[in-house]
Amino acid sequence: MKETISWAFSGVGTSVLVGLGSISIAIGVYLYKMRSHRIQEAFEKYDNLYERGGHRLKCLIPSGIHCLKSDREIKHYFQLVMTIEPHHPLRQWKGRIEKIGYKKFFDHVFKSGLALDKESIEGFISDLER
């Protein structure tokens, strides 16, 4: 036991611990950058589609919202969307979709192959609320 403790605080032990900490931080930074890149790329596609006259709800799937990896990423994406479109129509279903989970909802919409619009959204939500 004494040998383990003295090894941990020796130069070798400290180097190993610092090395592991550095690797952990580097992995965290890399994952953060990848997440930020996915969100920004989807938002830029949405913005481009919307500027070219796209329908607000119909722009979500083609922008790649279903490619985002978690509810957290999708919430961040929507924060960006709200900067250019503060009254996005999806807001009226926000509470119900949050209960289902954004990721689960948009994966379901994508897999259906149907367009996301005001008429279809209620059906998608009902499918998942069962």
- In the chain, what are the domain boundaries? 2-129
Return the pLDDT at 9. Answer: 60
Q: Do residues 68 and 74 lie in contact, with contact meaning Cβ atoms separated by under 8 Å?
A: yes
Lowest mean pLDDT among 4-8, 68-72, 124-128: 4-8
CA distance 38 to 90: 21
Of residues 88 and 32, the one with the higher pLDDT is 88
User: What is d(CA 102, CA 77) in angstroms, rounded to the nearest whole number?
Assistant: 11
Mean pLDDT of 66-74: 94
Place 28 in a pLDDT band, splitting at 50, 70 and 90: low
